[in-house]
A and B are shown apart, each in its own frame.
Chain A
Amino acid sequence: MSTFLQYLIYGLQLGSVYALLALGYTMVYGIVGMINFAHGDFLMIGALGTFFIAKLFTSFNIDGTYPMLIVAVIILIAMLGTGAIGVGVEAIAYRPLRNKPRMIALITAVGVSMFLENFPRALPFIGPNPRSFPTLFKTVRYSFLGASITSTQIIMISLAAVVMVGLYLLVNKSKIGAQMRAVSMDKDAAALMGINVNRVISITFFIGGALAAVAGICYASVYPQVEVYMGSWLGTKSFIAAVLGGIGDIRGAMLGGFIMGISEIFATAVNSTFGYAVGFIILIVILLVKPAGIMGKLTKEKV
């Protein structure tokens, strides 16, 4: 029982990362219909960025960690920065291709991903070597029903949860959220209704980037080696999570992320190759059973 609980905790932790990242994929797909292959790299930018931002605040560093206020500031800066990069990428590389076939934007996304990974790598102060992510929180280990859970894990999972709830409220209860939903249903009609489509899309990419930054921080707090290629594999798995939940659906992305995270942890416990493959197995099963994803709705083409 306690091992089960332990794995569950790790699963929730990994699941939060996947869920946060999957949200970015799903929102972008919902709004502009493209799969942003570079999204995983936003996670890396968030994590690596936090590493460097934390350096700026070293004066506040007390015995290895930072005070909570400073941590909040660091995370906020990382979110804003990554969000801004997201907006920039959209404006430069994706916006001009909005009316072209989707594969063109996809290939461009591949190029963007390549650039986001290799440009920092070439910069002398970053380079290819992994860096050690700073400890942002004092780690206190708690015991719960026989399993151990650290304060870091609690904070990470809670942070992810708070962010997700906030996003859900934003999309469903706010005016900008209504605009986002309108654009995702019919871009042209939304424009005719007076919605500034470009602004809505930029905001979506900003949110996606910010969420990816949080995901990166959560991930790096547990696996502290950060390097330029860390985002792409996580991105692929989060993308599968988004599809699993129903691409374009926010609750689906969250659900998919947690399912992927939890299954991966339990599967790896059985066998490492199984852990590697379980994501794909789940994917194939869902595609055979319900291709639109758990929450998705298949739209029929009108003849």
Chain B
Amino acid sequence: MIRVATRAFCVLMLVASGFGPARAAQAPLVADLSEHLVAITTGFAGADVLLFGATDAEGDVVVVVRGPSRPVTLHRKGRVLGIWANTASKYFSRAPSFYAVAASRPLEDLVGQPELDRHEIGLEHLKLEMPLAKASENVAMRWREALISAHEEAKLYQDVVGRVAFLGNRLFRAEFHLPANVPTGRYQVQVFLIRDQRVQSAQTTPLIVSKIGVQAEVFDFAHQRSALYGIIAIAVALFAGWLGNAVFRKA
């Protein structure tokens, strides 16, 4: 982590001295990530990703990290004969698999509701597609909130808005934590420059979260050649069982 931070700081200094202003003169906003690939390896227990950048003049910055969208079924438990069982469920055709926001000031001070809705900034402004509810809007609202809090419970949606820290007037940085259960795929890191209550400029940077090495090979093998994987799993177990018996007999 220290290594990454140091490297990022060097880049920041670089942006600050010379190279930065020249670019910033054309683009009101430049930003980049400390790394574009989060590798899930054998020892993976979560990762921190650092975003840094510069603006061409004073302004506020909001950063949104979104995981790839996926369909989700939400189950609700109810009591049946004294036993807790899933009694209702709702299908959402797409919901981001990960979501986090950071801002340099509280969101409500920065920009109006319509802008937040348009750019899907903040959990309450997320577009979550669900089948038209036959029930009232109230019920649909409750399912929506439940979907968000279930993701929060799993640490996949961050319930608090993180901090975008400014160094001086124009350099900023923000840090995100990806938990160990983070879904794989192509993430989008959106950076918004906000002035006078509106989004003035935006930039999107991709972030890839991917299994690497043995982990990836085992996973791909299990999914692409399932039958062979099953046979190998059995063969390994047969051998291990025989080995255990043989070793024990000698001892």
Partners in one complex: no
